[in-house]
C-alpha cells in the first residue's frame, strides 16, 4: 500500500506520517526511513534534529538525497514499512541538479514498479500560501504540483494535514 501525506510547512504532516509509520511498523515489524533533505543552514539542521528526536532511535534512517528512485528500487521485495520524508526536498535537489522536469516521471516509474513494503510518502502541498513571483519559485511550484499529483494518483490513500489535523482525501479500499 502507498500512502501520501500532504500539508504546508509546519502543518504536522511529518508527525502524522510518523504516527502512521509507527502504527504500521508495530504490525509489520521492519521499518526504514528514507530522508531526502540536506541540512545546509542552522534552521534546517534544527528541523532535522527535532525530527530525529521524535523517532525511535532503533529505526534505521538512510539519507538518500536526490537518489530516491534508486533507494526505493533497493527496497523491492522487502517487508515492513518505509517512510519517505520528503518529496519536496527531493525535488529541491533535483532542481539543483538540473533534472526537476523529469522528477514526476521518475517518481511515477518508481511507484508503478513498487513491490516493496508499505510506503508512506510525505510532501508539502504547494499553493496554500503566498508564492514569490520569480521564475525559479514558480517552476518549483509547478513541478511539485506534478510530483504530488503523480503520487496521489498512484497512492491507495492520501491525507492533507492542516494545523495538525489530518483530513482523509483518499481512502484505501
Pick from 117, 103, 120, 39: which is nearest to 67 by CA?
103
Give the active site residue among 51, 76, 134, 156. 51
- Per-position b or e across 115-131, b if 16+ CB within 10 A of its CB: ebbbbbbbbbbbeeeee
Q: Percent of the chain scored above 70 by pLDDT?
A: 88
pLDDT digits (tens, 9 = 90+) for 66-88: 999 999 999 988 999 999 999 99
In tens, the pLDDT along 2-31 reads: 999 999 988 999 999 999 999 999 999 999
Task: Domain 2-132+140-170: give its CATH superfamily.
Answer: P-loop containing nucleotide triphosphate hydrolases (3.40.50.300)
Query: How far is it, in rounded angstroms, from Cα 172 to Cα 170?
Result: 7
* Helix 13-28 / helix 42-54 crossing angle, nearest 10 deg: 30
Higher pLDDT among residues 129 and 173, named by residue: 173
Residue 5 three-state SS: strand
Query: Could you tell me which residues come within 8 angstroms of residue 80 by beta carbon, excluding any fewer than 6 positions away?
Result: 25, 28, 29, 30, 31, 32, 117, 118
Judge if the upstream peptide bond of residue 78 is cis by omega within 30 degrees of 0: no
Question: What is the chain's mean pLDDT, rounded?
Answer: 90
Say yes or no to pLDDT of 130 above 70. no
Predicted local confidence at residue 48, as pLDDT: 58
Cell of 158: 492520501
Q: What is the mean pLDDT of residues 135-159?
A: 94
Kindly list the domain boundaries of the chain, sorted by start residue: 2-132+140-170
User: Can 51 be counted among the known catalytic residues?
Assistant: yes
- Grid cell listed for 149: 499529483
Contacts 24+ apart (CB under 8 A), 45-48: none
Amino acid at each position: 500500500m502507498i500512502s501520501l501525506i500532504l500539508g504546508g510547512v509546519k502543518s504536522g504532516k511529518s508527525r502524522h506520517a510518523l504516527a502512521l509509520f509507527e502504527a504500521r511498523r508495530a504490525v509489520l515489524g521492519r521499518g526504514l526511513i528514507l530522508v531526502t533533505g540536506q541540512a545546509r543552514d542552522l534552521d534546517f539542521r534544527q528541523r532535522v534534529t527535532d525530527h530525529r528526536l521524535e523517532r525511535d532511535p532503533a529505526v534505521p534512517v538512510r539519507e538518500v538525497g536526490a537518489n530516491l528512485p534508486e533507494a526505493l528500487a533497493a527496497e523491492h521485495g522487502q517487508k515492513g514499512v518505509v517512510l519517505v520524508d520528503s518529496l519536496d526536498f527531493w525535488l529541491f535537489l533535483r532542481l539543483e541538479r538540473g533534472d526537476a522536469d523529469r522528477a514526476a516521471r521518475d517518481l511515477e516509474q518508481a511507484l508503478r514498479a513498487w513491490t516493496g513494503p508499505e510506503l508512506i510518502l510525505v510532501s508539502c502541498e504547494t499553493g496554500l500560501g503566498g508564492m514569490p513571483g520569480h521564475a525559479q519559485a514558480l517552476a518549483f511550484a509547478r513541478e511539485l504540483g506534478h510530483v504530488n499529483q503523480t503520487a496521489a494518483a498512484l497512492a491507495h490513500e492520501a491525507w492533507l494535514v492542516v494545523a495538525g489535523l489530518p483530513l482523509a482525501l483518499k481512502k484505501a479500499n
